[in-house]
């Protein structure tokens, strides 16, 4: 079978309006996008709570959009309350590592990031220039992700009898992981902030795609076989993933 010989006619760009909307003491950018296939209004909070997006059918009365927002105000407040107002990293705040909150401590001495304790609680001690603290923490999470995930990939690929062509790490906002048809696995290094069970589930999920490139019953059965707590971990990621995506490493 040959794909891609004929290209579909390009669709005209969707009309959109951008404005600001205040909810739960936050003023967020709101993008209203017309979609010719939309039959109703749909509301989405952008990854990390950075903005709102409403998809509307063509020709929707702006007053109907306002009424729609009013009806969903409580839903928005509830969801946004779970996301931090200030997600910047600095000394004195806590960053989860494998699901365990670690106090961020800055030490201007030479080095990168080390694990330690401050008054009996886990700490991430970030060395060097204070201005480089967020980037150093991101680099630390990337190194930890590479170490943990490669071990899990080896374990799960052995269980399914398939090999991964390559394993890559990215800072993606649309998905936590992916598997291409040629067997390349990709993971968001931010997953290292989630509990160990969730990390294991993510790897099991993508490795299962090496054998089942779909989300059918056989795929989920294999996923649960590789990670018995898959359903619990999946629910955790759905509930808490937005908080992890909201943390700013710049």
Please report, for the chain, the start and end positions of each structural domain, with discontinuous segments joined by +.
16-81, 94-246
- Cα four-point dihedral sign 37, 42, 43, 47: negative
pLDDT bracket for residue 247 (50, 70, 90): confident
pLDDT bracket for residue 60 (50, 70, 90): confident
List, in sequence order, every beta strand (DSSP E) within the chain: 16-23, 26-34, 42-45, 52-56, 94-97, 100-107, 113-118, 121-127, 166-170, 177-179, 184-188
* pLDDT reported for residue 86: 57
Note the pLDDT tens digit of each residue in 15-57. 678 888 888 777 888 899 999 888 899 998 876 677 888 999 9
Note the pLDDT tens digit of each residue in 160-169. 999 999 999 9
Q: Between 3 and 76, whose confidence is greater?
A: 76
pLDDT bracket for residue 249 (50, 70, 90): confident
Q: Which CATH architecture has domain 94-246?
A: 2-Layer Sandwich (3.30)
Instruction: Give the β-pairing of 166-170 and 184-188.
Output: parallel
Mean pLDDT of 199-226: 97
- Contact between 125 and 141 (Cβ < 8 Å): no
C-alpha distances out from residue 8 to 1, 4, 14, 35, 208, Å: 18, 9, 17, 18, 32
């Amino acid at each position: 079978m040959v794909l891609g010989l004929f290209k579909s006619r390009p669709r005209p760009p969707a009309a959109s309006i951008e404005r600001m909307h205040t909810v739960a003491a936050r003023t967020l950018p709101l993008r209203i996008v017309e979609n010719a296939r939309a039959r109703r209004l749909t509301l989405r909070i952008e990854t990390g709570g950075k903005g709102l997006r409403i998809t509307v059918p063509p020709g929707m009365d702006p007053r109907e959009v306002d009424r729609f927002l009013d009806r969903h105000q409580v839903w928005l407040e509830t969801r946004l309350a779970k996301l931090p107002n200030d997600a910047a990293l600095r000394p004195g705040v806590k960053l989860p590592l494998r699901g365990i909150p670690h106090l961020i401590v800055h030490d201007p001495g030479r080095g990168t990031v080390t694990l330690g304790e401050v008054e009996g609680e886990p700490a991430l001690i970030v060395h060097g220039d204070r201005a480089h603290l967020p980037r150093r923490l991101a680099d630390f999470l990337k190194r930890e992700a590479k170490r943990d995930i490669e071990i899990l990939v080896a374990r799960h690929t052995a269980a399914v009898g398939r090999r991964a062509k390559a394993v890559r790490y990215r800072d993606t906002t649309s998905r936590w992981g992916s598997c291409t048809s040629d067997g390349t696995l990709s993971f968001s290094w931010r997953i290292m902030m989630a509990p160990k069970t969730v990390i294991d589930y993510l790897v099991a999920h993508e490795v299962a795609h090496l054998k089942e490139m779909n989300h059918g019953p056989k795929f989920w059965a294999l996923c649960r076989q590789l990670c018995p707590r898959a359903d619990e971990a999946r629910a955790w990621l759905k509930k808490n993933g937005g908080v992890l995506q909201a943390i700013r490493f710049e």
